[in-house]
Amino acid sequence: MKFKSKKPHYEYLRQKWVGRHRAIQNKFWEKHGSSLKHLALGSLGGLMLLSAPAHQELPAPQLTFSRDDVLKGYDKNVLLAQSLSDKIPVEVRSLEPLEERDVIDILSRNFGFEVKAEMGGIRLNRNYGLIGGEQHLYRYPGDNLYAHADSASDWAKYGDAGIAPGLGAWGYFSASQKEFGDIDKQRERYYLAIQTFLTPGFAENFAKYRDFFKFRKMLVVNPKTGQAVVAVIGDAGPAEWTGKHLGGSPEVMDALGLAGGPRKGPVLYFFIDDPKNEVPLGPVNVRNQA
């Protein structure tokens, strides 16, 4: 082992101590992240003790300290998961009205756009359920699985999901390959299969509900990690007997951190009120930790 210091034994011990200190600090954050968030906002001294290396002297106290500085370097989506943890039930069930209102408020404030459980008098049968992985969908006549990959990395990540034998609930995303545009590509890439057929009033208002749900934009959040994605309703399903309440494209599942293992997990999902189409599809990070 080579050291730049003239005191190699001291240098070796110092490196070991700093490494041990960082490991303890990371473990402490994992276990007490929620409490430390409040500590960081209310106690400058406590934060400095946590973040300063053991061999340094404490810096002089500052008169002002911004919240952004406190949280810099930490994943705000993880903090979102912590704020949701005591607002949703342990079991995966339909949210009660008060739970639903609390969750909607948290998500709208954190992401900077309005989410809703109901729009135009239409609401889903639930907004908290188990999502499962779906296959790719045909986007236009003559489409094939290989055309879905933009790169070797894309193929490696999503190619093994395969492509569904049938079309989505609204048919192709584009009438032809020539007319196929970026919005069509993004819609298939980030699509959801939603149990629209279980929506209250669906059978009595089939045409109205069909048109309402077509490519309806939604926010989906993994409450365990805070990972989130903006997607559209591109298909109907899954069947009730599967035990799942909605499905996600391979890219949606990846964005939610659920692409591996059983390829399913609990998620929150709500309509996005975006009349000007300002919210892009794809993975989304917390904008404001409020």
Closest CA to 139 of 169, 161, 171: 171
The answer to whether 268 and 220 are in contact (CB under 8 A) is yes
Name the strand (E) or helix (H) holding 45: helix 44-51
For the domain bounded by 78-284, which CATH number is listed? Answer: 2.40.40.10
pLDDT digits (tens, 9 = 90+) for 81-134: 999 999 999 999 999 999 999 999 999 999 999 999 999 999 999 999 999 999
Dihedral of CA atoms 127, 248, 273, 102 in degrees, nearest 10, equals: 30
pLDDT digits (tens, 9 = 90+) for 172-197: 999 999 999 999 999 999 999 999 99
This prediction's pTM: 0.76
Return the domain boundaries, the chain: 8-73, 78-284
Closest CA to 148 of 163, 133, 134: 163
Q: What is the pLDDT of residue 191?
A: 98
CA distance 59 to 38: 21
Cα dihedral sign, 75-81-82-83: positive
- The pair of structure tokens assigned to 265 is 């997990």
